[in-house]
Amino acid sequence: MAALKLKTNIDRLVGNVTIPGDKSISHRSVMFGSIAHGETIVTNFLPGDDCLSTISCFRKLGVTIEEADNHLRISGNGFEGLSEPTEVMDVGNSGTTIRLLMGILAGRPFHSTLVGDASIGKRPMTRVTVPLSQMGAKLDGRKNGDFTPISIRGGHLQPIQYELPVASAQVKSAIILAGLQADGISTIIEPAETRDHTERMIRQFGGEITKDNQTIRVKGGQKLTASTIHVPGDISSAAFFLVAGAIIPESEIVLKNVGLNPTRTGIIEVMKQMGAKLDVPETMNNDFEPSGDLIIKTSNLKATVVEGNLIPRLIDEIPIIALLATQAEGTTIIKDAEELKVKETNRIDTVVLELRKLGANIEATEDGMIIHGKTKLTGGKVSSHGDHRIGMMLAIAALLCENPVELEQPDAISVSYPNFFEHLNNLIR
Ligand code: S3P
């Protein structure tokens, strides 16, 4: 798609946005629906490109998945119901699809091959292939198994006791999914708490998994039973409007149906610490994944430090937090966030490069960035670099810009938020 002229110089944002389904939970609903026994119904499924890649892979594994308006019907026949694919499976841009799928395929007695786009081709996979190989699966890929194409010959799995070298929910989830097929109890120790959607899904599908501080235990051979899943809105998508509402003058935005799982709410804590006028519901709806409505108003912001155990709880929100920090008084420091280098792009580099083009005072560090606020944003030609979250962050930054802004590779946004611009345009007054 050609470069997109973004809306600039916006006076105020007012109105409601119903946030689309959570990407992480949508992926897992397809995966668990496929490995459970019976018919699973998923409502408010996110029809973003990444989740559609997950559906396409499971269809190639022989699972029947019917798509209707905003809901799915998945006919699962257990792990044993998956069959050897006759074609290569393409995960597109989706790290969650490829890493979690490897965990499932590790225990299946057949051969399969996984490929993805150019970005996936640069993202490290040994973090998953190493523990899965220790459990007994045969995995290989380019550069000693680190990069796609990845080939898998699954088989009989031994349980594992594994200390994760990085705080990653994708790696944890891949081992849990393999552990569900192993001969005994697997133990996974996280260096810091990461999103726990996989653990919640197992319980929702009638299985058992325990968590004691950062130690997770799961038994192999459990039978999972189909369920009905209502996917809450994605807080990582809501984050763009939370920041927009805080930095655009005279704004008030109500964000409906936002997932408020405590392993994902780091952005709320950071925004409150920075002085944001953000209302969070006190009693959250007590579904298997909590959710509620958030209200954000224009705020006077001050700088902060974002670090340590908070990082995995807001890892995907760091690009938009960097923009927020450009509008806060003082110097914001983001550290302990080396993982940003292996996301859809190297998000330390892409955030710093692109925000500088718009006039921000921001520098890259080894494990994060330093942002000096508050700065006026100007305008120019920017790029998403094919990274959905960089594209949306730049579209929000443009709202403040005095001069025209053009966004290259805007189509990347459909990976997680296909109707992002429609929702944004509805708020502009
Ligand atoms: C995800 C985990 C995170 C996150 C990604 C989605 C998941 O990745 O950045 O967008 O659904 O498990 P890591 O596990 O690599 O940190």
CB neighbour list of residue 92: distance below 8 Å, 6 or more residues apart: 49, 50, 52, 53, 116, 117, 120, 415
How crowded is the C-beta side of 228, counted as CA atoms within 13 Å? Answer: 2
The whole-number pLDDT of residue 309 equals 98
pLDDT tens digits for range 366-405: 999 999 999 999 999 999 999 999 999 999 999 999 999 9
Q: Which of 170, 310, 416 to mutate to test the pocket of ligand 1 (most atoms within 8 A of CB)?
A: 170
pLDDT tens digits for range 52-74: 999 999 999 999 999 987 799 99
CB neighbour list of residue 210: distance below 8 Å, 6 or more residues apart: 216, 217, 218
Give the chain's domains with CATH numbers.
4-21+232-427 (3.65.10.10), 23-210+224-230 (3.65.10.10)
The whole-number pLDDT of residue 65 equals 98
The whole-number pLDDT of residue 17 equals 98
Q: Which of 49, 90, 316, 387 does the annotation list as catalytic?
A: 316
The tokens for 87 are 């074609």
Ligand 1 centroid–CA 196 distance in Å is 11
The whole-number pLDDT of residue 228 equals 97
Ligand 1 centroid–CA 168 distance in Å is 6
Q: Which of 91, 195, 392 to mutate to test the pocket of ligand 1 (most atoms within 8 A of CB)?
A: 195
The whole-number pLDDT of residue 1 equals 76
Please, are residues 301 and 375 in contact by the beta-carbon 8 Å criterion?
no
Say whether 316 is catalytic. Answer: yes
The whole-number pLDDT of residue 68 equals 87
Rounded to an integer, what distance in angstroms lies between the CA atom of residue 396 and that of residue 317?
A: 13
Q: Is 316 in the pocket of ligand 1 (CB under 6 A)?
A: yes
Give, in order, the Cα–Cα distances in Å from 146 to each of 124, 132, 134, 136, 329.
5, 13, 15, 17, 42
The whole-number pLDDT of residue 44 equals 97
CA angle at residue 309 from 132 to 368, to 5 degrees? 90
The whole-number pLDDT of residue 16 equals 98
Closest residue by CA, ligand 1 atom 13: 168
With a cut of 50, which residues of the chain have pLDDT below it? none
